[in-house]
């Protein structure tokens, strides 16, 4: 039974479902050895990943989600003030909506681990208690 919750960001999904991605082999190997992880993400992450994937990659990603490869969290209107606050807090990094939503929901769900290729930004982002995210891959 999974015991460690972690967010999945766009870059990891692109690496996992795009065979020509430079991190493909690493992503596949990481996931194969990560049975203890309970994976979480957001619909904006899925949309963003699909933008970068070819049709085969999109289909494979959606099949994986259908097989419950990841728990998807909704973003509600009530989340928007906090997401806006995150965008303003990290203005100097020019965060996109997806990153701001991940940071915001990480606080509300108390999940501080992330699987991402975005080392620069997720090294700078902080949780509400000041802790950095714990990057599990790369």
Pick from 109, 115, 92, 111: which is nearest to 23 by CA? 115
Domain ranges of the chain: 4-74+110-127
CATH superfamily of the 4-74+110-127 domain: 5'-nuclease (3.40.50.1010)
pLDDT for residue 3: 73
Helices (H), 1-138: 10-17, 24-32, 43-52, 55-66, 80-89, 97-109, 119-124
Look at residue 25 in the predicted model and tell me its pLDDT.
98
Give this prediction's pTM.
0.94
pLDDT, one tens digit per residue, over 10-66 is: 999 999 999 999 999 999 999 999 989 999 999 999 999 999 999 999 999 999 999
pLDDT in tens, 77-121: 999 999 999 999 999 999 999 999 999 999 999 999 999 999 999
């Amino acid at each position: 039974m999974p015991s460690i919750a972690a967010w999945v960001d766009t870059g990891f999904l692109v690496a996992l479902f795009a065979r020509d991605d430079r991190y493909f082999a690493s992503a596949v190997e990481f996931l194969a050895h990560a049975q203890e992880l309970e994976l979480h993400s957001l619909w904006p992450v899925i949309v963003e990943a699909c933008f970068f994937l070819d049709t085969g990659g999109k289909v494979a990603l959606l099949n994986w989600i259908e097989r419950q490869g990841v728990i998807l969290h909704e973003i509600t209107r009530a989340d928007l003030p906090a997401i806006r606050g995150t965008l303003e807090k990290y203005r100097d990094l020019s965060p996109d909506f997806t990153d701001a939503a991940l940071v915001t929901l990480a606080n509300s769900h108390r999940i501080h681990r992330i699987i991402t290729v975005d080392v620069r930004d997720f090294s700078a982002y902080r949780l509400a208690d000041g802790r950095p995210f714990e990057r599990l891959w790369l």
